[in-house]
Amino acid sequence: MRFDVITLFPELFEPHLTHGITRRAYESAQVDVRLWALRDFADGQYRRVDDRPYGGGPGMVLLAEPLERALAAVRAGRDVDTAHSEGAISAKVPVIHFTPTGRRIDQALVREMAAGPGAVFLCGRYEGIDQRVLDRHVDVELSLGDFVLSGGELPALALLDAVARLQDGVLGDAQSHQQDSFSDGLLEGPHYSRPELLATDDGPLSIPPVLLSGHHGRIARWRREQSLALTARRRPDLIAVARAAQRLSAEDEQFLATLEV
């Protein structure tokens, strides 16, 4: 899959693409990321990409013309690559704009994108993007959460990371992402590692004895209950969704009934 990223700050992406476990996805081109510097498509000596908004008001707006040129270059580049790929079938990919007014990114969306052909990411800055560009080109608007960031680069990086880690062979254990938070609609429970006793100023801290029992069934049940308890405390809305989708067993419901949340 291929992701084309139009941004004022391509240098923000480089460290992410070359460090950490997800770099495997980028180095193997399972997730092919192409960076397009918006200033390369601006006119004039200063490569200006923004101006004051019509009607007045604070902030600056990204100009339509450099964005139009950048999007045209991305499409042309994709067409060339498709033509040079033997047997390749051109697939229309969505143009995604990151904005606080968009749909909140969730694991269901990540799984959908991880199985698709990729996308074009439009990373805004300043007060926003000329609406005419959004109306003409944008298929999907996405948000990282109910807060405002300085630009679309961080949401783009977050989405790339989430998609990359779902690719085959990227994680050390193929089952890792299957146990992540939200993979089954619930939050993931706690993890423990060595040493068995952790020395602290407040005395030694041990790990739950069940994890040392070697009884896989009991361990699995303990983990399920920890997941249920954490989700019920922090995200009761997810419990309601799981219940409506009939993803909770009778044993799950019995455990939830014992909780004081």
pLDDT per 10-residue tile (average), the chain, 261 residues: 97 94 92 97 91 92 97 93 58 91 95 96 94 97 95 97 93 51 78 94 95 96 96 95 94 95 63
Other CB atoms within a 10 A radius of the CB of residue 73 amount to 15
The pLDDT assigned to 84 comes to: 64
How remote is the C-alpha of 133 from its chain's centroid?
A: 24
180 catalytic residue (yes or no): yes
201 catalytic residue (yes or no): no
Instruction: Please say whether the dihedral angle defined by the alpha carbons of residues 137, 143, 149 and 152, taken in this order, is positive or negative.
Output: negative
CATH superfamily of 2-164: SPOUT methyltransferase, trefoil knot domain (3.40.1280.10)
User: pLDDT of 35-69, one tens digit each?
Assistant: 999 999 999 888 999 999 999 988 999 999 999 99
* Reported pTM: 0.83
Q: Which of 68, 81, 127, 161 is catalytic?
A: 127
136 catalytic residue (yes or no): no
Q: Which of 34, 100, 161, 243 is catalytic?
A: 100
- Domain 182-257 is of which CATH architecture? Orthogonal Bundle (1.10)
50 catalytic residue (yes or no): no
Q: Which of 180, 184, 188, 225 is catalytic?
A: 180
Contact yes or no for 33/17 (Cβ under 8 A)? yes
All structural domains of the chain with their residue ranges: 2-164, 182-257
User: pLDDT of 105-118, one tens digit each?
Assistant: 999 999 999 999 99
